[in-house]
Structure 1
Amino acid sequence: MPQPSTTVRFFQCASAVIWCLLSAGIVFGFAALKPILISEGVYHELCDAKTSGGLDVCIEQDLKLNKMFTISAVTTNATALVVGYILDNYGPRVCGFIGSFFLFFASFTLADYLDFFVNALALDKYLLGYITLAIGGPFVFISCFQLANTFPKYSGMILALLTGAFDTSSAVFLVYRLAYQKLSQISLPLFFKWYVTVPLFIAVCQAFLMPSESYKTLGNIEKLAIEGLDENGQLPEGDDGSQIIEDANERSSLLSSNERRLSAISSNPTDARLTSIDSELGLTTKKSRAKSVYEEYVESKMLSKSGHLFGILDGKSIKTQLSSPFFLLMCVFCTIQMIRINYFVATIRSQEQYLVGDALAADLNGIFDIALPLGGVVAIPFIGILLDNFQTQTVMFILYLISIFIGLCGIVPHYFFNLVGILILVAYRPLYYTAISDYSAKVFGFETFGTVYGLMMFTAGVINYFAVYLDKFTKSTFKGNPGPINWALIMSTVIAGAALLLYIEFTRKNAGKLKLQEEAEEAEVVQIPQ
């Protein structure tokens, strides 16, 4: 595919950031939208004169609204797996058009343009509209990842902008709520009559501006983000290698034609003899593609940096990868965290109402509405520092401790602890998604990254529907007390997280021992007479 001009590539990236900001994760702004839905009388017909709540909403109405969000959150994660397949087989333009279609459909449904169709089929207009918003988001968001290679030297910045736009997109409904309350009561249909311009913008960009073929696959993008190398193991265009190899002697050695031999020399002079002897004895490992000198160098650093977990299942069959404890235990931990996050987003007002009362609950809800879109943006640089400077098991341990701390803050009936829990949660959410992605790429490799990570998110998303029943139990069995459910989620986190960390540590130690054994065997080979 011919490389477009710099100007075209700039506008491609800018347009993608704009529409991600307006649509990618809009459904996660539910906490800000919910007061408007209540005010507009959505599902109010479920209430009777005897039922009431502190939000002027009955239990049945509250459950129905929360269920609408939970199903949409499930749909978002389930859709991600489908998007990956379509993106790899049909390209980003098709994904973009599909996403814009679903956003069009959602806008027309919630703007009351399709009432005849909806009523004829006896469909739930609000559930249908919110679900189609949830489907459109992943299509227009994930299809943008390949733009990381529009400017390879700045791929990390581009990915950060896209991710930040996704996190900030939940603010769309916050802005709508502020306008609804402060300026005038802009009805829900009127808002979505205006919102239809977003999918229109996306469709026009896809038709006239965006590439029809991917610059990169998802696995290649992850490789670029983690290793700083492209799919061929080379430095991106415009990169002189100074960020990868700091030592001047090593850098000069990289320019030599004998890449394999000099790669060994750059890390350990004695390995040069080993390379030569390996060749003479026929011990060279056969690979589908010979690794570049940059790849050898970076992977040796990544192996140590990740605590001997980097590439531990790389090259294994997808069946082996998906049946390994690395996948199964992470999938369980990932699922529990997703349930906790989305359950809190859906029920924050009612939970805080029980813990700290109506007035303070409204205050915390307002803070959460603002903090949620800002949390990801503020956390991005710190997430990068964390992933760049700590081993994989250390990152997972930090994730584990933060998750438990957030859970404990959420069961204390005190304003300060609940506020701290909320502020940490909004930063934890992007860390959680980024750490799981980083873990999947490092452990399973880049070739199967899309399948492994997509299936993990899909499984967690589908099981996330269980949050509907948690909400019912809270309001019926426990009379609105969120404590028992939150305690159950905390204990599930403790058990699942501990199992994952113990397995990682056990495997890491064995990998370290195996590495020492291999080095000892290599040392014996080097001593063979010439």
Structure 2
Amino acid sequence: MLLHLNQVDEDSSHAARFAILFYIMVSLTLCGGTVFGFAGLKTVLLDESVYAELCSDFNGDGATYTPCNAQMLRLDLMFTLASSLFSAYLLPAGLLLRSMGPRACFLLGFALVIIGSGLFVVANSRTFDVYIVAFVLIGTGNPLLYIAAFNFSKLYPSSSNLLLSIFIGCFGFSAIVFYLFDEVHFIYGLTSQQLFRAFVFLPASLALIGMFVLPKDVYHVMRQRKLSAASNAVAESDVADGASEKTPLLESNEQNGVAWDGNSTATTAVAAGDTNKAKNTSFIGVPLKDASLSRQLRSAPFFAQMAFFSWGMLHLNFYLGTIYDQLLLLDDTGGALADVMIDVFSLSYPFGCLASILPVGLLVRNCSVSTSLYTYCAVNLIFSSMALLPNLSAQWITIHMFILVRVAFFTVMSTYSANVFGFANLSTMFGAAGCVAGMVSLGSSGLNYVALTVQDDFTLVNGFMLAGAVLNFTFPYTVKVFWENKQH
């Protein structure tokens, strides 16, 4: 069975397709986006007095000091670098997937997660400070798994957008890993070194299984090879039967209603009665799916996506990295309520990502790309407005709205790339936009410095983010109008 899973495509049995999808979902759930569960890991590191030596009242006894801004900024820098490099590494990950296939992507991703986890086992901020390096390695391993998963969304062509949403939900759920670290640490007293020593066996086991079940080639290459083999078999059969040289080997794409890369065009979608797919492919007036990669990278829809992606990642990474800091500034109970809220958020985040799969998946499956984009923009605007409220009770709603916003953002962006540029170049186009977004989101460290050190308040920065949320509404409109005007 394992030997046949690495050749699964849309014509394979449901059991075979489900088996490979199950492996992908488990891999994403355990290792796909663990860095985004930083809130849970941060409380463990604070309890272990990591970087406490940066605080003036620290005397070597972790029980007698108060966490200071310098310590918070250093820990937040871990997340800023890891999350930014996660995005920046999406392009190399996409290129690696394109050139070497999903197996190489997964194995390299697991290897980086294993090395990063191993460094956490031996890290000490005062004698062997490799915390940032370790977390960054995990952060650069995660996107390799995330991008490679896109390759398998075509196993069920009619539900490819829904599968993308499921993958993103599993990716978000991987934050549960560091929540469990937090719970086990405070309940059973295990150190972060012990926790990472146990965790490292998970990616190692998944990598071993992946060597046998993952295909070597990307999906559309494997699919074309299979179709070519089928056409050759038909040709040989026709020759044996005395068929004319002019006899077509396969029905035309127009007759089949399917392009060679497995992507339906707007015309064939209408012919098949799939109006939703027609709306998606006609979003920018003239589809770019059949254009060359260089043409797609030079197109207006890509530059618009790049700007939209960059702002979204800057906002999301800034908020996720500073949730605890923001709650502490609003908490007048000495941090007790903020601790409770961050514990609840650390648990709600992974399960919220799973719960968001259904509404977000149905949105992108049944609505046009522009409708999906406008819906995301509306939800993000509400979230950004709520973040400005200087009320700790209101932030209960804000931190949970963030979960929906994050899942919707990644799903809508990947769906946009798939429908505008096609699945053949999905990983590269999504990765290219993500790469630029990663570099831009490095600016969240500066925003954090302004909020904690200069302002000692997050109102100014959150107001800045709200202004960006308003400007987000120009993205779907600008892309459509600019592209259609250029074509005509």
TM-score (norm 1): 0.75
Pair 1:133 & 2:138 matched:
yes
**Residue deviations 1:150-194, cap 9 Å, x none?**
676876675554333211100111111111112x21101111111
**Counterpart position of 1:26:** 34
Q: Say which one has the larger Rg.
A: 1
**Counterpart position of 2:269:** 298
**Counterpart position of 2:465:** 489
Pair 1:194 & 2:192 matched:
no
Aligned partner letter, 1:202: L
**Counterpart position of 1:391:** 368
Give distance in 1, aligned partners of 2:264 and 2:84. 43
Segments of 5+ residues of structure 2 without an aligned counterpart are 229-249
Deviation at 1:291, TM superposition (A): 10
Give distance in 2, aligned partners of 1:451 and 1:140. 14
Give distance in 1, aligned partners of 2:365 and 2:163. 17
Quick check: 2:384–2:462 contact (8 Å CA) kept in 1? yes
**Counterpart position of 1:74:** 84
Quick check: 1:307–1:508 contact (8 Å CA) kept in 2? no
**Counterpart position of 2:408:** 431
Pair 1:464 & 2:469 matched:
no
1:407 equivalent among 376, 379, 384: 384
Pair 1:321 & 2:329 matched:
no
**Counterpart position of 2:68:** 58
**Residue deviations 1:340-380, cap 9 Å, x none?**
11111111111122234333322322222122112221111
Deviation at 1:499, TM superposition (A): 3.5
Pair 1:354 & 2:354 matched:
no
Pair 1:39 & 2:47 matched:
yes
Assess, with a 3 A threshold, how the Cα gap between structure 1 residues 212 and 305 changes in structure 2: closer, same or farther: closer
**Counterpart position of 1:94:** 104
Give distance in 2, aligned partners of 1:477 and 1:353. 17
Assess, with a 3 A threshold, how the Cα gap between structure 1 residues 314 and 413 changes in structure 2: closer, same or farther: same
Aligned partner letter, 1:125: V
1:500 equivalent among 453, 457, 475: 475
**Residue deviations 1:328-350, cap 9 Å, x none?**
23222221111111111111111
Aligned partner letter, 2:111: F
Q: Comparing 308-317 with 434-443, which one deviates more in the overlay?
A: 308-317
Assess, with a 3 A threshold, how the Cα gap between structure 1 residues 200 and 508 changes in structure 2: closer, same or farther: closer
**Counterpart position of 1:366:** 343
**Counterpart position of 2:319:** 344
Task: Identify which of structures 1 and 2 has the higher relative contact order when contacts are C-alpha pairs closer than 8 Å and 6+ apart.
Answer: 2
Give distance in 2, aligned partners of 1:395 and 1:132. 33
Deviation at 1:483, TM superposition (A): 0.3
2:57 equivalent among 40, 49, 67: 49
Assess, with a 3 A threshold, how the Cα gap between structure 1 residues 304 and 216 changes in structure 2: closer, same or farther: closer
Quick check: 2:117–2:196 contact (8 Å CA) kept in 1? yes
Aligned partner letter, 1:362: D
Alignment of 1:161-310 (within 5 A): 161-182=166-187, 184-216=188-220, 260=254, 296-298=267-269, 301=275, 302-304=277-279, 308-309=283-284
Assess, with a 3 A threshold, how the Cα gap between structure 1 residues 498 and 167 changes in structure 2: closer, same or farther: closer
**Counterpart position of 1:332:** 307
Give distance in 2, aligned partners of 1:399 and 1:293. 25
Assess, with a 3 A threshold, how the Cα gap between structure 1 residues 319 and 293 changes in structure 2: closer, same or farther: closer
**Counterpart position of 1:242:** none
Q: Percent identity?
A: 23
Give distance in 2, aligned partners of 1:315 and 1:500. 23
**Residue deviations 1:402-439, cap 9 Å, x none?**
22211110111123432222222101111111111122
Deviation at 1:390, TM superposition (A): 2.9
Give distance in 1, aligned partners of 2:384 and 2:90. 27
Give distance in 2, aligned partners of 1:59 and 1:132. 25
Assess, with a 3 A threshold, how the Cα gap between structure 1 residues 508 and 85 changes in structure 2: closer, same or farther: closer
Give distance in 1, aligned partners of 2:263 and 2:406. 36
Aligned partner letter, 1:381: L
Assess, with a 3 A threshold, how the Cα gap between structure 1 residues 260 and 40 changes in structure 2: closer, same or farther: closer
SS in 1 for 2:284: coil
SS in 2 for 1:484: helix
Give distance in 2, aligned partners of 1:209 and 1:447. 21
Aligned partner letter, 1:339: L
Give distance in 2, aligned partners of 1:55 and 1:299. 67
**Residue deviations 1:103-150, cap 9 Å, x none?**
2211221111x88xx99xx97310111111112222233334434456
Quick check: 1:353–1:361 contact (8 Å CA) kept in 2? yes
Assess, with a 3 A threshold, how the Cα gap between structure 1 residues 510 and 161 changes in structure 2: closer, same or farther: closer
Pair 1:110 & 2:120 matched:
yes
TM-score (norm 2): 0.80
Give distance in 2, aligned partners of 1:41 and 1:138. 30
Q: Comparing 194-203 with 21-30, which one deviates more in the overlay?
A: 194-203
Deviation at 1:16, TM superposition (A): 2.9
Give distance in 1, aligned partners of 2:261 and 2:189. 64
SS in 1 for 2:454: coil
Pair 1:377 & 2:354 matched:
yes
Quick check: 2:301–2:483 contact (8 Å CA) kept in 1? no
Quick check: 1:80–1:457 contact (8 Å CA) kept in 2? yes
Assess, with a 3 A threshold, how the Cα gap between structure 1 residues 395 and 231 changes in structure 2: closer, same or farther: farther
Give distance in 1, aligned partners of 2:341 and 2:264. 53
Assess, with a 3 A threshold, how the Cα gap between structure 1 residues 289 and 150 changes in structure 2: closer, same or farther: closer
Give distance in 2, aligned partners of 1:291 and 1:336. 32
Give distance in 2, aligned partners of 1:362 and 1:458. 34
Aligned partner letter, 1:27: V
Quick check: 2:165–2:360 contact (8 Å CA) kept in 1? no
Give distance in 1, aligned partners of 2:93 and 2:326. 34
Quick check: 2:300–2:482 contact (8 Å CA) kept in 1? no
SS in 2 for 1:415: coil
Number of aligned residue pairs: 449
CA RMSD, 1 decimal: 3.8
Quick check: 2:41–2:182 contact (8 Å CA) kept in 1? yes
